[in-house]
Amino acid sequence: MTGARETAVCIPRHVAVIMDGNGRWAKQRGRPRLFGHRAGAESLRAVLRACRDHGVEYLTVYAFSTENWVRPKDEVGGLMSLLKTFLKKDEHELHENQVRLRVTGRIEDLPRSVRTELERVMEATKAYTRWHLILALSYGGRTEIMDAVRAIARKVKTGELEPEAVDETVISRHLYLPDVPDPDLMIRTSGELRLSNFLLWELSYAEFYFTDTLWPDFREPQFAEALAEYSRRQRRFGAPS
Protein backbone atom coordinates (compact mmCIF):
# COMPACT_ATOMS: atom_id res chain seq x y z
CA MET A 1 0.00 0.00 0.00
CA THR A 2 1.34 3.43 -0.94
CA GLY A 3 1.65 6.35 1.45
CA ALA A 4 -0.90 8.28 -0.59
CA ARG A 5 -3.43 5.51 -0.14
CA GLU A 6 -2.96 5.53 3.63
CA THR A 7 -3.88 9.23 3.83
CA ALA A 8 -6.61 9.31 1.17
CA VAL A 9 -9.32 7.61 3.19
CA CYS A 10 -12.17 7.89 0.74
CA ILE A 11 -11.22 6.57 -2.70
CA PRO A 12 -13.46 7.32 -5.69
CA ARG A 13 -14.54 4.19 -7.53
CA HIS A 14 -14.65 5.98 -10.88
CA VAL A 15 -12.51 8.93 -11.98
CA ALA A 16 -13.18 10.78 -15.24
CA VAL A 17 -10.50 13.03 -16.73
CA ILE A 18 -10.46 15.84 -19.29
CA MET A 19 -6.82 15.63 -20.39
CA ASP A 20 -6.37 19.25 -21.41
CA GLY A 21 -3.28 21.35 -22.15
CA ASN A 22 -1.18 19.18 -24.47
CA GLY A 23 -1.04 21.92 -27.12
CA ARG A 24 0.04 24.63 -24.69
CA TRP A 25 2.65 22.33 -23.13
CA ALA A 26 4.17 21.73 -26.57
CA LYS A 27 3.99 25.44 -27.49
CA GLN A 28 5.88 26.38 -24.31
CA ARG A 29 8.68 24.15 -25.61
CA GLY A 30 8.51 25.43 -29.20
CA ARG A 31 7.40 21.99 -30.42
CA PRO A 32 4.46 20.80 -32.56
CA ARG A 33 1.16 19.94 -30.87
CA LEU A 34 1.68 16.24 -31.47
CA PHE A 35 4.75 16.36 -29.24
CA GLY A 36 2.37 17.45 -26.46
CA HIS A 37 -0.11 14.68 -27.26
CA ARG A 38 2.72 12.12 -27.07
CA ALA A 39 3.71 13.40 -23.64
CA GLY A 40 0.00 13.30 -22.77
CA ALA A 41 -0.10 9.60 -23.63
CA GLU A 42 2.71 9.10 -21.06
CA SER A 43 0.58 10.87 -18.46
CA LEU A 44 -2.31 8.55 -19.29
CA ARG A 45 -0.04 5.55 -18.67
CA ALA A 46 1.12 7.03 -15.36
CA VAL A 47 -2.42 7.83 -14.18
CA LEU A 48 -3.70 4.39 -15.19
CA ARG A 49 -0.97 2.77 -13.07
CA ALA A 50 -1.79 5.16 -10.22
CA CYS A 51 -5.46 4.17 -10.39
CA ARG A 52 -4.55 0.59 -9.68
CA ASP A 53 -2.14 1.57 -6.88
CA HIS A 54 -4.80 3.70 -5.19
CA GLY A 55 -7.71 1.32 -5.79
CA VAL A 56 -9.64 3.40 -8.36
CA GLU A 57 -11.53 0.79 -10.39
CA TYR A 58 -12.71 2.86 -13.36
CA LEU A 59 -10.78 5.50 -15.30
CA THR A 60 -12.55 7.31 -18.14
CA VAL A 61 -10.48 9.71 -20.25
CA TYR A 62 -11.65 12.21 -22.83
CA ALA A 63 -9.26 11.23 -25.61
CA PHE A 64 -11.16 12.64 -28.62
CA SER A 65 -14.39 14.62 -28.67
CA THR A 66 -16.98 14.93 -31.43
CA GLU A 67 -15.73 18.55 -31.73
CA ASN A 68 -12.08 17.47 -32.22
CA TRP A 69 -12.79 16.30 -35.82
CA VAL A 70 -12.45 19.93 -36.99
CA ARG A 71 -8.80 20.11 -35.88
CA PRO A 72 -6.16 20.20 -38.67
CA LYS A 73 -5.97 16.93 -40.61
CA ASP A 74 -2.37 16.35 -39.46
CA GLU A 75 -3.31 16.62 -35.81
CA VAL A 76 -6.34 14.31 -36.15
CA GLY A 77 -4.21 11.79 -38.06
CA GLY A 78 -1.45 12.08 -35.44
CA LEU A 79 -3.90 11.46 -32.61
CA MET A 80 -5.29 8.39 -34.40
CA SER A 81 -1.78 6.93 -34.88
CA LEU A 82 -0.97 7.71 -31.25
CA LEU A 83 -4.04 5.76 -30.25
CA LYS A 84 -2.99 2.80 -32.40
CA THR A 85 0.52 2.92 -30.92
CA PHE A 86 -0.96 3.03 -27.42
CA LEU A 87 -3.09 -0.05 -28.15
CA LYS A 88 -0.13 -1.97 -29.60
CA LYS A 89 2.48 -0.91 -27.03
CA ASP A 90 0.33 -1.10 -23.95
CA GLU A 91 -1.80 -4.15 -24.58
CA HIS A 92 0.61 -6.36 -22.62
CA GLU A 93 0.38 -3.99 -19.65
CA LEU A 94 -3.42 -4.12 -19.76
CA HIS A 95 -3.18 -7.92 -19.56
CA GLU A 96 -0.51 -7.89 -16.88
CA ASN A 97 -2.70 -5.67 -14.71
CA GLN A 98 -5.98 -7.27 -15.78
CA VAL A 99 -7.45 -4.02 -17.11
CA ARG A 100 -10.52 -4.16 -19.32
CA LEU A 101 -10.48 -1.65 -22.18
CA ARG A 102 -13.74 -0.10 -23.34
CA VAL A 103 -14.82 2.80 -25.50
CA THR A 104 -17.59 5.31 -25.00
CA GLY A 105 -18.60 7.34 -28.03
CA ARG A 106 -19.34 6.80 -31.68
CA ILE A 107 -16.68 4.20 -32.44
CA GLU A 108 -18.12 3.90 -35.97
CA ASP A 109 -16.78 7.41 -36.77
CA LEU A 110 -13.16 6.29 -36.30
CA PRO A 111 -10.94 5.17 -39.18
CA ARG A 112 -11.30 1.44 -39.87
CA SER A 113 -7.72 0.58 -38.87
CA VAL A 114 -8.19 2.25 -35.45
CA ARG A 115 -11.55 0.55 -34.95
CA THR A 116 -10.14 -2.85 -35.80
CA GLU A 117 -7.35 -2.44 -33.27
CA LEU A 118 -9.72 -1.12 -30.60
CA GLU A 119 -12.18 -3.94 -31.13
CA ARG A 120 -9.38 -6.50 -30.94
CA VAL A 121 -8.05 -5.19 -27.60
CA MET A 122 -11.57 -4.74 -26.17
CA GLU A 123 -12.36 -8.35 -27.06
CA ALA A 124 -9.03 -9.60 -25.65
CA THR A 125 -9.56 -7.85 -22.30
CA LYS A 126 -13.32 -8.31 -21.87
CA ALA A 127 -13.02 -11.01 -19.22
CA TYR A 128 -11.30 -8.69 -16.74
CA THR A 129 -13.77 -7.37 -14.19
CA ARG A 130 -11.77 -5.46 -11.56
CA TRP A 131 -10.00 -2.62 -13.45
CA HIS A 132 -11.43 -0.61 -16.32
CA LEU A 133 -9.95 1.89 -18.75
CA ILE A 134 -12.62 3.69 -20.78
CA LEU A 135 -11.56 5.81 -23.73
CA ALA A 136 -14.05 8.50 -24.73
CA LEU A 137 -13.55 8.62 -28.50
CA SER A 138 -15.61 10.65 -30.94
CA TYR A 139 -17.58 11.31 -27.78
CA GLY A 140 -20.03 14.10 -27.06
CA GLY A 141 -22.34 14.21 -24.05
CA ARG A 142 -25.26 15.73 -25.95
CA THR A 143 -24.83 13.19 -28.76
CA GLU A 144 -24.88 10.37 -26.20
CA ILE A 145 -28.13 11.67 -24.68
CA MET A 146 -29.57 12.20 -28.18
CA ASP A 147 -28.69 8.62 -29.16
CA ALA A 148 -30.37 7.36 -25.97
CA VAL A 149 -33.50 9.43 -26.65
CA ARG A 150 -33.68 8.06 -30.19
CA ALA A 151 -33.38 4.46 -28.97
CA ILE A 152 -36.10 5.07 -26.38
CA ALA A 153 -38.34 6.80 -28.94
CA ARG A 154 -38.03 3.77 -31.24
CA LYS A 155 -39.18 1.50 -28.40
CA VAL A 156 -42.10 3.79 -27.59
CA LYS A 157 -43.09 3.80 -31.27
CA THR A 158 -43.20 0.01 -31.43
CA GLY A 159 -45.11 -0.18 -28.15
CA GLU A 160 -42.22 -1.91 -26.34
CA LEU A 161 -42.15 0.97 -23.84
CA GLU A 162 -44.89 3.24 -22.45
CA PRO A 163 -44.00 6.99 -22.45
CA GLU A 164 -44.83 7.10 -18.72
CA ALA A 165 -42.27 4.34 -18.07
CA VAL A 166 -39.41 6.57 -19.28
CA ASP A 167 -37.66 7.58 -16.07
CA GLU A 168 -34.02 8.27 -15.08
CA THR A 169 -33.24 4.55 -14.84
CA VAL A 170 -34.55 3.92 -18.36
CA ILE A 171 -32.50 6.82 -19.74
CA SER A 172 -29.35 5.60 -17.93
CA ARG A 173 -29.88 2.13 -19.39
CA HIS A 174 -29.82 3.55 -22.92
CA LEU A 175 -26.53 5.44 -22.55
CA TYR A 176 -23.38 4.02 -24.21
CA LEU A 177 -22.10 2.09 -21.15
CA PRO A 178 -25.12 1.42 -18.94
CA ASP A 179 -23.29 -1.02 -16.67
CA VAL A 180 -20.52 1.44 -15.68
CA PRO A 181 -21.11 3.32 -12.41
CA ASP A 182 -21.26 7.13 -12.66
CA PRO A 183 -17.94 8.92 -12.02
CA ASP A 184 -17.38 10.09 -8.44
CA LEU A 185 -14.63 12.54 -9.37
CA MET A 186 -14.02 14.59 -12.53
CA ILE A 187 -10.55 16.06 -13.05
CA ARG A 188 -9.81 18.75 -15.64
CA THR A 189 -6.26 19.92 -16.18
CA SER A 190 -4.83 23.15 -17.65
CA GLY A 191 -6.91 25.72 -15.80
CA GLU A 192 -10.03 25.56 -17.96
CA LEU A 193 -13.22 25.56 -15.89
CA ARG A 194 -15.63 23.93 -18.33
CA LEU A 195 -17.26 20.55 -18.89
CA SER A 196 -16.90 20.72 -22.69
CA ASN A 197 -19.73 18.28 -23.41
CA PHE A 198 -18.12 15.48 -21.33
CA LEU A 199 -20.38 12.87 -19.66
CA LEU A 200 -23.19 15.39 -19.12
CA TRP A 201 -25.64 12.89 -17.65
CA GLU A 202 -23.13 10.75 -15.75
CA LEU A 203 -21.35 13.63 -13.97
CA SER A 204 -24.52 14.98 -12.32
CA TYR A 205 -23.35 14.13 -8.79
CA ALA A 206 -19.57 14.03 -9.27
CA GLU A 207 -17.05 16.15 -7.39
CA PHE A 208 -15.10 18.44 -9.75
CA TYR A 209 -11.36 19.02 -9.41
CA PHE A 210 -9.68 21.67 -11.55
CA THR A 211 -5.93 22.22 -11.68
CA ASP A 212 -3.68 24.61 -13.62
CA THR A 213 -1.23 21.76 -14.30
CA LEU A 214 -1.07 20.94 -18.00
CA TRP A 215 -1.95 17.32 -18.79
CA PRO A 216 1.59 16.24 -19.83
CA ASP A 217 2.81 17.35 -16.37
CA PHE A 218 -0.02 15.55 -14.57
CA ARG A 219 1.46 12.33 -13.18
CA GLU A 220 1.13 10.19 -10.02
CA PRO A 221 1.85 12.95 -7.44
CA GLN A 222 -0.72 15.28 -9.04
CA PHE A 223 -3.25 12.45 -9.22
CA ALA A 224 -2.63 11.62 -5.55
CA GLU A 225 -3.30 15.29 -4.70
CA ALA A 226 -6.62 15.17 -6.56
CA LEU A 227 -7.58 12.05 -4.61
CA ALA A 228 -6.57 13.69 -1.33
CA GLU A 229 -8.75 16.71 -2.16
CA TYR A 230 -11.66 14.39 -2.99
CA SER A 231 -11.19 12.63 0.32
CA ARG A 232 -11.18 15.95 2.22
CA ARG A 233 -14.43 17.00 0.51
CA GLN A 234 -16.04 13.68 1.34
CA ARG A 235 -15.05 14.04 4.99
CA ARG A 236 -16.48 17.58 5.15
CA PHE A 237 -19.68 16.36 3.54
CA GLY A 238 -20.18 13.76 6.25
CA ALA A 239 -19.35 16.07 9.16
CA PRO A 240 -22.07 17.27 11.53
CA SER A 241 -23.09 20.91 10.94
Residue 182 beta carbon to ligand FPP: minimum distance, rounded to whole angstroms: 22
> Nearer to ligand FPP by C-beta: 135 or 199?
135
Q: What is the largest CA-CA distance in the chain?
A: 59
Crossing angle for the helix pair 73-96 and 33-54, nearest 10 degrees?
20
> Nearer to ligand FPP by C-beta: 19 or 187?
19
Residue nearest to ligand FPP (CB): 23
Binding stretches for ligand FPP (CB under 6 A): 19-24, 33, 37, 40-41, 44, 63, 68, 82-83, 86, 135, 190, 215
Residue 177 beta carbon to ligand FPP: minimum distance, rounded to whole angstroms: 17
Residue 44 beta carbon to ligand FPP: minimum distance, rounded to whole angstroms: 5
Q: Is 22 one of the annotated active-site residues of the chain?
A: no
**Inter-CA distances, 139 with 55, 196, 235, Å:** 26, 11, 33
Which residue among the candidates 53, 68, 182, 217 is catalytic per the annotation? 68
The Cα–Cα gap between 124 and 108 comes to: 19
> Nearer to ligand FPP by C-beta: 19 or 185?
19
> Nearer to ligand FPP by C-beta: 82 or 177?
82
Q: Is 97 one of the annotated active-site residues of the chain?
A: no
Residue 128 beta carbon to ligand FPP: minimum distance, rounded to whole angstroms: 18
Known catalytic residues? 20, 68
